[in-house]
Amino acid sequence: MASVDSAIAIILVYGAVGGAIYALISLGFTLIFGVARLLNLVYGALYMVVGYTIYALAVQDGVSIYAAAAVAIAIAIGVGTVSFLLFVRRNPDPIRFMIGTLLIALFLQYYFSYAFQGEAGYIIPGLIPNTSILVMGVSISQLSLLAAGVSVIMVVTLYIWVERTGSGRVLRATASDPETAALFGISPGRVALLVIVLSSALIGLAAVLVVPTGEVTPTMWTGPFIIAFVVAIVGGLGKFLWTLPAAFLVSFSQVTAQYYIPYDVTDLVAFAVAIVFILTLPRGMGGIWEAHRVG
């Protein structure tokens, strides 16, 4: 095992970069639940859609990575929007939406498994070369750093938009009380649609930045789904402004455990964190903060 200093450096660097990336992955999921009160289970599958689209366009057909990424994000937005329109506009039943979106995610998993010959993993190119640099003496890929940087920018932009602009106020009003918002002429359906488009774009962007550091496989959607779900629980379901601190807490827990345990326990740690929060603090960090502020 490395020295204490290097252990701290490893945990700090990987925890911070991982936390920022987790925030980008989770932001859209918490946004949908916060505003539309819908659990969009196709969310993780959009990550996979982007991965396979980039592979098909950039690797198989030789299209430029930038064009492939743009098309992939557009397709992710299309799939997310169609899922929403199909299951919410026709019959706004949360159970139907949940079952329907899970089935779409599984359909996509099995379809990609069929179309791309099974479980084999594919490598896709990133927007920048996937080389590593040293940060505090710890080697980390430039792609991960780019993803972390973009994530922080997106979180800050979203925060300013939601807290400081008129359209952001509309979003908060709908999230807080859709019926009263409707009384004031706001269409909750349109706001929900906007949020679906936005969240699909966010997970698409996350995929463009993060997938090149790993492999494209038919089951790759489960990883971001687990992270998005756990971060949403830790931050407080619907408390989308708490995504960043929650993502950091999850990431640091995982990196610390992974450093000391010689097996891949990242998913198990994430699940354990979610269980602890559900049993002890079901309203999450955001709920605790609100209760403290009111009290």
The footprint of other proteins (CB under 8 A) covers 39, 41, 86-87, 90-91, 93-96, 98-100, 102-104, 106-107, 109-111, 113-114, 222, 225-226, 229, 233, 237, 263-268, 271, 274-275, 278-279, 282
Nearer to other proteins, 225 or 240 (CB): 225
Q: How far is the CB of 15 from other proteins (least distance, A)?
A: 20
- Pick the closer one to other proteins by CB: 24 or 228: 228
Residue 167 beta carbon to other proteins: minimum distance, rounded to whole angstroms: 27
CA distances in angstroms from 146 to 29, 37, 141, 281, listed in the order given:
21, 31, 9, 33
Nearer of residues 104 and 209 to other proteins, judged by Cβ: 104
As measured in angstroms, the least distance from the Cβ of 150 to other proteins is 27
- Which DSSP string corresponds to the chain? ---HHHHHHHHHHHHHHHHHHHHHHHHHHHHHHHHH----TTHHHHHHHHHHHHIIIIIIS---HHHHHHHHHHHHHHHHHHHHIIIIIS---HHHHHHHHHHHHHHHHHHHHHHTTTT--B----SS---EEEETTEEEEHHHHHHHHHHHHHHHHHHHHHHHSHHHHHHHHHHH-HHHHHHTT--HHHHHHHHHHHHHHHHHHHHHHHGGGS-B-TTTTHHHHHHHHHHHHHH-TT-GGGHHHHHHHHHHHHHHHHHHSSS--HHHHHHHHHHHHHHH-TTHHHHHHHHHHH-
Q: Is 1 exposed, middle or buried (0-12, 13-18, 19+ CB in 10 A)?
A: exposed
Please say which residue, 100 or 188, places its beta carbon nearer to other proteins.
100
The first and second tokens of residue 180, run together, are: 């009263």
- Least distance to other proteins, CB of residue 229, Å: 6
Minimal distance in Å, beta carbon 267 to other proteins? 4
- Least Å distance, CB 184 to other proteins, is 27
Query: Tokens 């859209």, residue?
Result: 28
Measured from the CB of residue 274, what is the shortest distance to other proteins in angstroms?
A: 7
**C-beta closer to other proteins: residue 103 or 138:** 103
CA angle 23, 25, 26 (to 5 degrees): 65
Nearer to other proteins (CB atom), residue 100 or residue 126: 100
Nearer to other proteins, 110 or 161 (CB): 110
Q: Which is nearer to other proteins, 90 or 190 (CB)?
A: 90
Q: Closest separation between CB of residue 108 and other proteins, Å?
A: 9
